Amino acid sequence: MSSKKPKFYVVWTGRIPGVYTSWEECREQVDGFPGARYKAFASRDEAEYAAADEPEEHIHSARPAERSTVASTDVDDAASRGGEVSSCGGRISSRPSGSSSGDTRPVHMPSPEVLAKVGFQTLCVDAACSGNPGAMEYRGVYLAEGREIFHFGPVHGTNNIGEFLAIVHALALLDKQGTKMPIYSDSATAISWVRRKQCRTQLARTPRTEKLYEMIARAEAWLKAHRVTNPILKWETSEWGEIPADFGRK
């Protein structure tokens, strides 16, 4: 009896957009949801990379008769006939609780006094890098629920690039959801880059960093095409402790 390779499912438009690790979880979000958009990927990195894009970059047009209505059929079956999604607008990924598989990262919740100061309806972002440059990853944490809602990496990069991309990822997510929630980052450098709409990294552009540079280009293009209305605030680590999105590597 052959075992199927694990799949990772991106839901751009559904009840709760996100990256899911099983078809059953994905189906709960899209089954019967008008205009659901979703697709299966072979790896988590590929799925999270795609989730940060517009769905049109990963979904090919299908004839109306072939489009899936997302009933009880597996998404792979729908994909095999060119109809893994139906048509409608999409959202940037937000990972629901429990959608990770064996890689859950803890969230450091601040004290009640700090929570009263920064507010619960807040999105905190952070990056980590093993070496600089080195294996870089970033994530976003929704403070009201104390959970990670997006994560990307690791890829070869720098901490400042990760901090920059994390802020833009958060901005794009909140913009698509129409949420005017403040974003906290502990990186003054990344906040400055976002305000200037340019990632001023000195990281060499090589075949190894090409994928990362493509992400940077998309992030800069997004900033230039959108009016940023969400407050981007500095997390005061010396006063409040580590930002909730911290990876705990210190």
Cα(26)–Cα(33) distance, rounded to whole angstroms?
12
Q: Quick one: 32 and 73 in the same domain? A: yes
Q: Convert the pLDDT of each residue in 79-121 to its tens digit.
A: 222 222 222 233 333 453 333 333 457 788 889 999 999 998 9
CA 181 to chain centre: 16
Q: Quick one: 116 and 66 in the same domain? A: no
Decide if 93 is inside a domain. Answer: no
Global confidence as pTM = 0.63
Domain of 39: which CATH number?
Answer: 3.40.970.10
Decide if 172 is inside a domain. Answer: yes
Q: Quick one: 30 and 73 in the same domain? A: yes
Domain around 227: 112-240
Average model confidence (pLDDT) for the chain? Answer: 78
H or E element that contains 130:
strand 123-131
Q: Convert the pLDDT of each residue in 98-107 to its tens digit.
A: 333 334 577 8
What's the structural domain count of the chain?
2
The beta strand positions in 109-170, using DSSP E, are: 123-131, 134-142, 147-157
Decide if 103 is inside a domain. Answer: no
Domain of 164: which CATH number?
Answer: 3.30.420.10
Decide if 89 is inside a domain. Answer: no
**Average of per-residue pLDDT across 49-58:** 75
Under the banding of pLDDT at 50, 70 and 90, the label for residue 185 is very high
Decide if 48 is inside a domain. Answer: yes
Residue 149 structure tokens: 């809602």
Q: Convert the pLDDT of each residue in 196-231 to its tens digit.
A: 999 999 999 998 888 899 999 999 999 999 999 999
